[in-house]
Amino acid sequence: MIGAIAGDIIGSVYEWNNIKTKEFPLFSPQCFFTDDTVLTVALADSILTGTSYVENLKQFFQWYPDRGYGNRFHHWASQANPQPYYSWGNGAAMRISPVGYAYDDLETVLTKAAEFTAVTHNHPEGIKGGQATAAAIFLGRMGQSKLEIKTYIESQFGYDLSRSVDDIRPTYAFTESSQETVPQAIRAWFEATDFEDAVRTAVSLGGDSDTLTCITGGIAQGFYGGVPTAIATQVYAHLDDRLARITRDFMAMVERQHGG
């Protein structure tokens, strides 16, 4: 999941200032963690502790109230008894990466991804985006090739992953929809040569940069077997003690259970 957090932090400064190039300072002085990181860590904590994800989403929202949440999630998290709001947005795919690392088989990954997504994003497109992201992470972690993963995602979820980054980039603009974010994030990973190149490629597409790059970063970590030490060090430097501790604890759990 640290790959997803890295993507969020690196992409944070380009969400409203798209750059459409891979040439940029990887960590600018203005980088920060957004709601993508907060809700990702909340899910990791739920997996670690067994705490209800609804309870954790509300708690982490209270701890970090000004991190760029969408209006519908902001309203949801403020309710005493929040109910799913049939969202097809990309806000579930951005936070789902821990599922791709925590479980031992694809069926469980898909089931858990749907479960954790549906607490808010219970629209079929929202659930599909969460499942596709978690599945890509899991399959990469299991050693499947890029082509095998691409073929599975296309056949299982109906995403068109044929358009190249160069084809997507010129007209790609900000969108909050899962169906217009997850395929583009996967394609950015598919064309990359390593973890850093995946993140740079995702940023270069433009759009909702922190979320797009968060999704790509999570998938790239699984496929490439980790995050470069220099990048991980920068990530932890941008987190507070609570978020850093939970992230380290989750990564240590994954290492103990699966060897990485």
Tens-digit pLDDT string for the chain (260 aa): 999 999 999 999 998 889 999 999 999 899 999 999 999 999 999 999 999 999 999 999 999 999 889 899 999 999 999 999 999 999 899 999 999 999 999 999 999 999 999 999 999 999 999 999 999 999 999 999 999 999 999 999 999 999 999 999 999 998 889 999 999 999 999 999 999 999 999 999 998 889 999 999 999 999 999 999 999 999 999 999 999 999 999 999 988 876 54
What gap in Å lies between CA 145 and CA 75, rounded to an integer? Answer: 41
This prediction's pTM: 0.96
Q: What's the sign of the alpha-carbon dihedral 151, 47, 209, 228?
A: negative
34 burial (CB, 10 Å; 0-12 / 13-18 / 19+) is buried
Please give the full DSSP string across 83-124, using - where no structure is assigned: ------BTTTGGG-HHHHHH-SSHHHHHHHHHHHHTTT--SH
> Does domain 2-258 fall into CATH 1.10.4080.10?
yes
Supply φ then ψ for residue 89, to 5 degrees.
Answer: -75, 170
All structural domains of the chain with their residue ranges:
2-258
In angstroms, how far is CA 195 from the centroid of its own chain?
Answer: 14
What gap in Å lies between CA 97 and CA 214, rounded to an integer? Answer: 9
